[in-house]
Amino acid sequence: MTFNIKRIRDLLQNFQFNDLFNELGWSRPLQPQPTNMVIQNTSFELQEIAQLSGVTIYEVTSQHGKIPDAQ
For the chain, the domains span 5-62
pLDDT of 31 higher than 90: no
Dump pLDDT digits (tens) for 36-71.
998 888 889 999 999 999 999 999 988 888 776 776
Give the C-alpha distances (Å, rounded to integers) separating 66 from 23, 31, 39.
28, 25, 11
Task: Give the model's pLDDT for residue 16.
Answer: 95
Cα–Cα distance measured from residue 14 to residue 20, given in angstroms and rounded to the nearest whole number: 10
Strand order, beta sheet including 35-39: 35-39, 42-52, 55-62
Give the C-alpha distances (Å, rounded to integers) separating 11 from 22, 38, 45.
11, 29, 22
Mean of pLDDT values over 22-40: 91
User: What's the whole-model pTM score?
Assistant: 0.76
Cα–Cα distance measured from residue 47 to residue 66, given in angstroms and rounded to the nearest whole number: 16
